[in-house]
Homo-oligomer: A and B are copies of this chain.
């Protein structure tokens, strides 16, 4: 055992296949899909059918549910490659929020719950949602402000509360809802099916991104009854299980968006290699070289940091520091890479038709969700100082 950056042969082979798939099957379709307003379920089903045929569906899920059984390091390699196309992760059924929900179900779901939800999810038959964020003064950067309540009643629970920014809620077969107990500390997760009369889609939220099927919604749970077997994980373990989901989910976001950053870089470099300016190739101008080199440095750095956090998670470490560090560093690096690529491409960079403008918009929310950079910095420093003080 030693520090080693060797990518296992079988993972590398998978990477090549994913690479070919996203270039051949996904990327050529993207401009049209986004011009039409972004992907819907029809688009999703078409892309996932192609991935299924290529044997690439659900790479992160256990093989017993039809996935490819990759560990977190394997996901690092494959998700980055998938992310090269904005819709690559959707095609491979490893986009947010389904990817994180599937992971959570595979870790804490009962066999019955897995049979009922994880199987169909792994096969791309259904979509799911995760309902955590609330309007102020509820849960946001401070999860402990959770305001939605669950009241235990005969045979089950009654949930009340409003959630917002719920990605994919419109069309999700099942929504995982975080609620705190009305009569004691702690929180629990519940599986709420789409046809539950207590769950209502209040409205769609217009946000700048178009990448998610079903968009983002405000939903309301009103006297929403769920039976006892709708509890996901254990009663009272809601916050702990949220960590089960969020630790890896933070990192899988990093992987996918790193792929998108690489795409932006590739488009810009191709442009700079073609374009002549003042007699030289744009790519040979000093300022262009600086942009290109800065991108390469950021791309390599971000990837290396993801791998380290992935290894820690695979080793059983909750890796709170490393996943926070990766979230902040990678989300900001991705922002820089894409911004530089836009600038290098000039007018083309702000055109939707080049996809660069689209990538520019799509990556912006990444610095905000799953904990904005500031929340991670705050928490990091709070944990670091006492440790530092303990140093000899």
Taking Cβ atoms with an 8 Å cutoff, the residues of A that contact B are: 1-8, 23, 35, 73, 76, 133, 136-137, 140-142, 164-165, 205-209, 266, 269-270, 272-278, 283, 285-290, 292-294, 296-297, 300-301, 304-305, 307-308, 310-312, 321-322, 325, 328-329, 342-343, 346-347, 349-353, 357-358, 360-361, 364-365, 367-369, 372-374, 376-378, 380-382, 384-385, 388-389, 391-392
- Are the C-beta atoms of A374 and B270 separated by less than 8 Å? no
How far apart sit A307 and B73, CA to CA, in the bound complex (Å)? 17
Closest 5 CB pairs of A and B: A286-B286, A293-B377, A289-B381, A206-B352, A208-B357
Most buried by B among A3, A276, A358, A388: A3
Query: Which residues does chain B contribute within 8 Å of A285, judged by CB atoms?
Result: 286
- Are the C-beta atoms of A384 and B296 separated by less than 8 Å? yes
Choose among B3, B368, B388 the residue that contacts A346 (Cβ–Cβ < 8 A).
Answer: B368
- Are the C-beta atoms of B6 and A3 separated by less than 8 Å? yes
Choose among B133, B300, B349 the residue that contacts A368 (Cβ–Cβ < 8 A).
Answer: B349
- Are the C-beta atoms of A350 and B364 separated by less than 8 Å? yes
- Are the C-beta atoms of B277 and A141 separated by less than 8 Å? yes
- Are the C-beta atoms of B300 and A322 separated by less than 8 Å? yes
- Are the C-beta atoms of A307 and B378 separated by less than 8 Å? no
Secondary structure dominating the interface of A: helix
- Are the C-beta atoms of B165 and A347 separated by less than 8 Å? yes
- Are the C-beta atoms of B308 and A343 separated by less than 8 Å? no
How far, in Å, is A314 (CB) from chain B's closest CB? Answer: 9
- Are the C-beta atoms of A206 and B351 separated by less than 8 Å? yes
Query: Which residues does chain B contribute within 8 Å of A23, judged by CB atoms?
Result: 392
Query: Which residues does chain B contribute within 8 Å of A207, judged by CB atoms?
Result: 350-352, 357
- Are the C-beta atoms of A384 and B269 separated by less than 8 Å? yes
Query: Which residues does chain B contribute within 8 Å of A141, judged by CB atoms?
Result: 277, 346
Query: Which residues does chain B contribute within 8 Å of A142, judged by CB atoms?
Result: 277-278
- Are the C-beta atoms of B35 and A206 separated by less than 8 Å? yes
Query: Are A288 and B372 also in contact (CB < 8 A) when A325-B296, A347-B133 are?
Result: no
How far apart sit A286 and B381, CA to CA, in the bound complex (Å)? 9
- Are the C-beta atoms of A5 and B311 separated by less than 8 Å? yes
- Are the C-beta atoms of A369 and B384 separated by less than 8 Å? no
Query: Which residues does chain B contribute within 8 Å of A308, judged by CB atoms?
Result: 5, 300, 304
How far, in Å, is A333 (CB) from chain B's closest CB? Answer: 9
How far, in Å, is A80 (CB) from chain B's closest CB? Answer: 13
Query: Which residues does chain B contribute within 8 Å of A352, judged by CB atoms?
Result: 206-208
- Are the C-beta atoms of A266 and B391 separated by less than 8 Å? yes
Choose among B164, B208, B350, B380 the residue that contacts A293 (Cβ–Cβ < 8 A).
Answer: B380
- Closest Cβ neighbor of A280 among chain B residues: B286
28 A-B pairs within 8 Å (CB atoms) are namely: A2-B4, A3-B73, A3-B307, A4-B311, A136-B274, A136-B276, A140-B277, A140-B347, A141-B277, A206-B351, A206-B352, A206-B353, A207-B351, A208-B351, A269-B389, A273-B388, A287-B374, A290-B374, A290-B377, A292-B380, A292-B381, A293-B328, A293-B381, A342-B364, A342-B368, A343-B373, A350-B364, A350-B368
